[in-house]
Homo-oligomer: A and B are copies of this chain.
Amino acid sequence: RPKSELLQQSRSISVEALKPNDTFPRRHNSATREEQSIMAQSCGFDSLDSLIDATVPKSIRSDSMKFSKFDSGLTEGQMLEHMQRLASMNKIHKSFIGMGYYNTFVPPVILRNIMENPAWYTQYTPYQAEISQGRLESLLNYQTMITDITGLPMSNASLLDEGTAAAEAMAMCNNILKGKKKTFIIANNCHPQTIDICKTRAGGFDLKVVTSDLNDIDYSSGDVCGVLVQYPGTEGEVLDYAEFVKNAHAHGVKVVMASDLLALTVLKPPGELGADIVVGSAQRFGVPMGYGGPHAAFLATSQEYKRMMPGRIIGMSVDSSGKPALRMAMQTREQHIRRDKATSNICTAQALLANMAAMYAVYHGPEGLKTIAQRVHGLAGVLALGLNKLGTAEVQGLPFFDTVKIKCADAHSIADAAYKNEMNLRIVDKNTITVSFDETITLDDVDKLFKVFAGGKPVPFTAAALAPEVVSTIPSGLLRKTSFLSHPIFNTYHTEHELLRYIHRLQSKDLSLCHSMIPLGSCTMKLNATTEMMPVTFPGFTDIHPFAPVEQTAGYQEMFDDLGNLLCTITGFDSFSLQPNAGAAGEYAGLMVIRAYHMARGDHHRNVCIIPVSAHGTNPASAAMCGMKIVAVGTDAKGNINIAELKKAAETHKDNLSALMVTYPSTHGVYEEGIDEICKIIHDNGGQVYMDGANMNAQVGLTSPGFIGADVCHLNLHKTFCIPHGGGGPGMGPIGVKKHLAPFLPSHPVVSTGGIPAPDKAQPLGTISAAPWGSALILPISYTYIAMMGSKGLTDASKIAILNANYMAKRLESHYPILFRGVNGTVAHEFIVDLRGFKNTAGIEAEDVAKRLMDYGFHAPTMSWPVPGTLMIEPTESESKAELDRFCDAMISIREEIAQIEKGNADIHNNVLKGAPHPPSLLMQDTWSKPYSREYAAFPASWLRTAKFWPSTGRVDNVYGDRNLICTLLPVSQMVEEEAAATA
């Protein structure tokens, strides 16, 4: 209490003490000044700074960072005011633009209890099934919804957006035909952004994309692997593709359909039309447009191609008691992305948004969805009828669902008139407009549209008066006859209380950051502060169509500019693209930038990518997707890249060297001393350095990719920059580049964009994401984080993240071997605990420790990556010393449990680790046949007596699940059978 004593003595007041007090860094960064010295001292340093100096190599240590804006950080109150101002600068017009984005009513119960609920949004990807059954069920609902509605039996648990989903489907077609047919045809009734993404993506796969009018499609080359059509088309037409599909199949061509979930509730589903793959967006199922994202895209296919599906898939299995339990299916398949021949790199997807969309379907049920669809369809019908009566424009004759295509004398003048009435229409060309309807549009809006189209003349009718005359033009053969969403889950929770409880019932099974630290190495599960999250649901940010005129989005644009500049300062780069919407998408985009750069210089042959063996699986996958040849280099005993080997590889491939991919600090949690040398070697041999920014949390304010020598880098904003993990997405993976690469940053076919700040010239590589600025709606999270922390707060964060890791490593080192350290014996912001030895001494594997940690109320660290048989711990700066100690206590206690096996005091096959986790159902069984006690199984640490998070199932059997792959909800009859079998 020195401060208050001071006041009592002198009673004079410093200006500093009068500054607003609701400062943020002390809420985000955990360790107090006192704790910092205690912890540094326990690591053998006299202060935090000396620990940092010993840890970060001098050669790359940069001067202190300085922002041109927000340098000293806004307080929480100032930040919220600022964000309210930005939100109010965005003008919300009614959107009739369509093109894959529709306004929707987010059911408030879902908004508050999922989207605004940290117990949902701070969850990690459900790798640890036993403490993730809630979101696993919700994602299974999502998959069931997609398969039911599309009419195809297999779905994954979301992809990044509709455009990339189409590109993934294209890659699947290529794969299905074993890469032997290199042409992919896209009907020009697809959304322009979908077409461009596929074109860009085709480059790396050496595929030829041909766009074609539907009527002119030509398979005669014999080289066509697939064709993509849209249903309904981007301009609204609803066509019967049955013959089209037959014809394609007759030519051995796979058919991909981009479609719309709402339309499919009333239209014959693609599965019944014979489509092989269906893709689309679940956005309009209760997820705000958010100026482009995040939203869940879907991909459904037949059983035949399920093992070629990209992305995560949830499936059923059983737990240690034989009871049904869910988990991520075919996880080993994810390893495929390591391969040089990878066709997908997707990792972080859109779990939170998939959950929202699934809950929307749960809330409305099949009848509710159909009612919405019919209303939307009806409103479109009223417009069409009215325009026909008005006679000032011509409505296209084809059947439509929600989008009316209109030929008119001057599309721009009509759009302008609409604009003045705060309505955005789509201008297709100078004589064509489309008007798309969604559930938020009203009859009043249609009346306003009539006025606009009447061009000042009186409108002799009202929308309401016309309604009874409207006749749907959809041919009866295209009307949906099959039922869908018949599972009770979609037919039970239709009142708010029922849905509220269903959401909370699922939530209660899932561990999140609301419970305890989630020390996942490489994932940076730090605080996702409420002030950062609040603007995400400000209507001024949520209700904007990504293709709204840019002048309506001044608030967003200011934020993009400032964020781009701030990220440049942080990373030492010259320009940023905010388009990639996940880390892996950023890797892909960054490598494509490098590829475009080489090509622009005539170096078409530069296609070798050197990647250390310790790299994250997405690295080689991304390189493969860019058509690069991967050359692996090994690491030395200390975990550092083998520089001699690297040098040799670079020199060997000198002529064709395209890039190095390197993570810094390394995936082993070490600041490699040789990193500047490594960069130099690559540059000397004509290559570019791609840095994987996943570990940026150990760099901010201390060094930077640009300073170190990288040419391009992606940032996982969902790691270092506080976007919550959402149970497996959303994320954002913007890329920063040096000046020479800036011209190549991605653009967009509808809204032109590029580097921020903008480079002098632009030669964009193409399009990476469906929306111009990726998942714009979640950028406020990173923006507010940076703006509230200021340069010093951020630098402190890096230091404390490193301190926390070293403190834990110190506490654990006498109990477990710590793999890899820097030259001065310290680790970076994360470290690896080696468990491999226990396999021999106690029959214990990493998984056993991971599952036992659940009994202690913790989520396991990253398991068996980057080194099999280890755990990688990353505490982050937001975890308090008390929490670190609690986690260390758990680990030390588990070590003692292992020792009991080693000593022969516990059975090697039947012990508290092998039996873990222990759900209540197990612990309360009347007969207890375990050799250890119930109480010890349940309460191995004292804090668990005060409050304990309970795993909801016993250990889940992955092998069983993959052998009996079931990836949708079972029909009730079958459910009952399964449960009977399980309890028998």
Contact = CB atoms under 8 A, between A and B. Distances in A.
B926 A923 contact: no
Contacts of A7: 266, 374, 472
Interface stretch (A635-643, A789-797, A812-820, A876-884): A876-884
Residue of A113, A117, A469, A924 most packed against chain B (CB within 10 A): A924
Given A4-B370, A17-B374, A495 B109 contact: no
Interface string A466-485: 01111110101001000100
Number of copies: 2
A1 B366 CA distance: 9
A529 interface: yes
Contacts of A29: 495
B379 A18 contact: yes
A470 B13 CA distance: 6
Contacts of A19: 443
Residue of A378, A463, A464 most packed against chain B (CB within 10 A): A378
Nearest to A483: B1
B938 A934 contact: no
Nearest to A30: B495
A388 interface: no
Main secondary structure of the interface of A (DSSP, over half): helix
B515 A375 contact: no
Contacts of A515: 501, 504
Interface string A519-539: 000000001011101100001
A950 B948 CA distance: 11
A513 B946 CA distance: 23
A556 B108 CA distance: 23
Contacts of A505: 946-947
A116 interface: yes
Contacts of A27: 109, 494-496
A451 to B, nearest CB: 18
A3 interface: yes
A370 B375 CA distance: 59
Contact of A77 (B105, B266, B469, B933): B105
Contact of A920 (B472, B517, B948): B948
A716 interface: no
Nearest to A465: B15
A118 B118 CA distance: 13
A381 B464 contact: no
Contacts of A514: 500-501, 504
B3 A497 contact: no
Interface in A6-40: 7-8, 11-15, 17-22, 26-30
Contacts of A371: 3-4, 17, 21
A939 interface: yes
B375 A21 contact: yes
Interface string A533-551: 1100001000000000000
B500 A18 contact: no
A4 B374 contact: yes
Contact of A509 (B111, B471, B882, B947): B947
Contact of A924 (B11, B492, B513, B938): B938
A503 to B, nearest CB: 8
A884 B743 CA distance: 65
A4 B266 contact: yes
A533 B18 CA distance: 35
Interface in A252-307: 266
A529 B496 contact: yes
Interface residues of A, number: 111
Interface in A918-960: 920-921, 923-926, 933-935, 937-939, 945-950, 952
B920 A11 contact: no
A920 B919 CA distance: 11
Given A77-B105, A939-B924, A367 B516 contact: no
Nearest to A474: B11
B527 A21 contact: no
A479 B105 contact: no
Interface string A80-116: 1000100000000000000000000101110111001
A824 interface: no
A27 to B, nearest CB: 4
A926 to B, nearest CB: 5
A8 B476 contact: yes
Contact of A513 (B492, B497, B883): B497
Contacts of A17: 371, 374-375, 378
A379 B20 CA distance: 11
Interface in A849-900: 878-880, 882-883
A468 B30 CA distance: 32
Contacts of A508: 947, 949
Contacts of A8: 476, 479
A412 B381 CA distance: 61
B21 A367 contact: no
Given A374-B3, A492-B882, A382 B498 contact: no
20 contacts: A1-B370, A3-B374, A14-B467, A15-B467, A19-B443, A21-B375, A26-B495, A108-B529, A108-B530, A112-B530, A112-B534, A119-B504, A496-B527, A497-B878, A497-B880, A501-B516, A923-B923, A924-B939, A947-B952, A950-B950
Given A18-B464, A508-B949, 10 more contacts: A4-B370, A18-B443, A18-B467, A22-B105, A28-B495, A30-B498, A500-B514, A505-B947, A921-B939, A923-B924
- Sorted nearest first, the 9 A-B pairs with minimum C-beta distance are A108-B530, A11-B472, A13-B378, A504-B514, A27-B496, A505-B947, A108-B531, A22-B105, A15-B467
